Structure 1
Amino acid sequence: MTYENILLKKENKIAVITINRPESLNALNALTIKEISSALDELQSDHEVRAIILTGSGEKSFVAGADIKEFSNFNQEKAEELARNGQNILFDKIENLSKPVIAAVNGFALGGGLELAMSCHIRYASENAKLGLPEVTLGLIPGYGGTQRLPKLVGKGIANEMIFSAKMIPAQRAKEIGLVNEVFPIGELLSKTEELAKTIALNSPMAISKAIKATNLSDTDKGFETEIKFFGELFDMEDKQEGVSAFLEKRKPNF
């Protein structure tokens, strides 16, 4: 499939989706959201791909936010439809994808950009990254899951501070509060993210898929029971047979 606003590369079981709108600091518009979603569908069905990296083109911006020009004249009905469709088409899809999605946050991750990064399973950031949710400066609130995912990652108090103040925070502060996992020089960000993706790709895709589903339920009353169920199910799957056999035979597993 040919894409207009994203680049897609697949190599050594790793896929890299690059949002490629440098003229607008990779802002999310409707087409970009649709194209990322389509790329994820393609990668989900590609059995060779074990992990996915999501990043932005250039060094200035991961995603500087949503493309405000597209919704500046919306009324309540159209705004709710925009938020709901975005969640269904992209943000929830990333969070619930059976393959790990790692955000390589290069530069600005603001508004919808930070919400996009937060929907990913893991976040690495460059030293020049700036992260924030500035929606209240527009008389709005985050509409792509920001008020829900940020408190789960950093706690309610810090989330409220970020949302109410609309301040951007630097990468090191984001690491301190648990918003990103690691911080690297901009020139090393993608290679370090690829290293992690390659490590993940060596492990059981069946187990990782179950782990994603279980951890997504960790803050619900279904979490423990789901973990027990999945733990049992994996005992009847071929990856468990290969993993245990490899351990007993003192060799690396071939999943």
Structure 2
Amino acid sequence: MHHDAFTTLRVSQEAGIARVTIDNPPVNVLDVALMADLRRLLAGLRDDDLVRVIVFDSASPEVFIAHVDMSLIDAPEAFDTFKAGLPDGVNVFQGLGELLRSQPQVTIVKLTGIARGGGAEFVAAADMTFAATESARLGQVEALMGIVPGGGGTQYVTSRVGRNRALEIVLGAELFDAETAERYGWVNRALPAAELDAFVDRLARNIADLPDGVTAAAKRAIPPENLAAGYLREHNAWAQQIARPAAEKLIRGGLAGGAQTLVGERDLEGLLRSDAVGLEEPGA
């Protein structure tokens, strides 16, 4: 694989570890370009026997992946190019999660900033996540846009934290700090930022140094849960909501108010709850 062939990723490889830095400024929105690069990366590494671990981080200290590109509201067909080869009943965003979940290598996210929406879905689809106590944040913000998570989020979160906490995450639509996410089981561990790099590097090297076959055997013995039925339920719920006028109003209002800029993403939840965007009143 030519590691310089990506426009939104920086990729390096050494000693059995592929290190992938997401670099799609200003806020690493999950747009067509980033989706294409992530899919091509995972497909290209799938049969690479020299890589045993993939570590993902971000070029932005504040944002890992912001969320799916909200301008999709004006170009709903933009991601259609990724439909080819998807399993039945899986949409393109769920398909990215399935690629990550089924990757033969161990996948690790090193989280130092915000991961919302599709970004939080990517985090939860990875095998392991380690988060910086001071700055890492996770959230499923979709309810504030009048929709529900549609890229696997409802399924991944429920699998990790249980139904009651999943409902809190999806309907509360708040950012969770790293320590709470650890306590809930959303991430493996919350660590001080000063210790995060060394910890993840040591774990990745220890896994990469295991005898031949051990990692593959462990991933076969501890497979990801089959989410086929859940994906279909989730997609139908998302599709029903995205078709409502309220969703378009909220998404357009969010974009006009500064979503997908660094300033706006620092408190996207507050922005989407503001009078300028305008959540509908109950019963309206």
- Which residue of 2 is the match for residue 245 of structure 1? none
- Which residue of 1 is the match for residue 180 of structure 2? 173
1:91 has 2:97 as partner = yes
Q: Is the 8 A contact 1:63 1:112 kept in 2?
A: yes
Q: 2:124, 2:167 → 1: CA distance?
A: 16
- Which residue of 1 is the match for residue 164 of structure 2? 157
- Which residue of 2 is the match for residue 100 of structure 1? 106
In structure 2, do the counterparts of structure 1 residues 205 and 27 end up closer, same or farther at CA, with 3 Å as the change threshold? farther
- Which residue of 2 is the match for residue 209 of structure 1? 216
What secondary structure does 1:54 align onto?
Answer: strand
- TM-score under structure 1 normalisation? 0.78
1:19 to 22, 28, 31: 22
- Partner letter of residue 121 of structure 1? D
Overall identity of the aligned pairs, in %: 27
1:95-115 per-residue CA deviation (whole Å, 9 max, x = no partner) reads 011110001112101100000
Q: 1:217, 1:61 → 2: CA distance?
A: 27
CA offset at residue 72 of structure 1?
4.4
CA offset at residue 203 of structure 1?
1.8
Q: Is the 8 A contact 1:109 1:117 kept in 2?
A: yes
**Runs (4+) off by over 6 Å:** none
1:61 to 63, 66, 78: 63
- Which residue of 2 is the match for residue 30 of structure 1? 32
- TM-score under structure 2 normalisation? 0.70
Q: Is the 8 A contact 1:8 1:39 kept in 2?
A: no
Q: Is the 8 A contact 1:53 1:102 kept in 2?
A: yes
Alpha-carbon RMSD across the aligned residues, in angstroms, is 2.4
CA offset at residue 188 of structure 1?
3.5
1:122 has 2:128 as partner = yes
In structure 2, do the counterparts of structure 1 residues 71 and 56 end up closer, same or farther at CA, with 3 Å as the change threshold? farther
- Which residue of 1 is the match for residue 12 of structure 2? 9
What secondary structure does 1:183 align onto?
Answer: strand
Q: 1:96, 1:145 → 2: CA distance?
A: 14
Equivalent positions of 1:177-192 (< 5 A) are 177-192=184-199
The alignment covers a number of residue pairs equal to 216
Q: Is the 8 A contact 1:27 1:63 kept in 2?
A: yes
What secondary structure does 2:91 align onto?
Answer: helix
Q: 2:106, 2:54 → 1: CA distance?
A: 6
1:156-181 per-residue CA deviation (whole Å, 9 max, x = no partner) reads 10011110111111000001111111
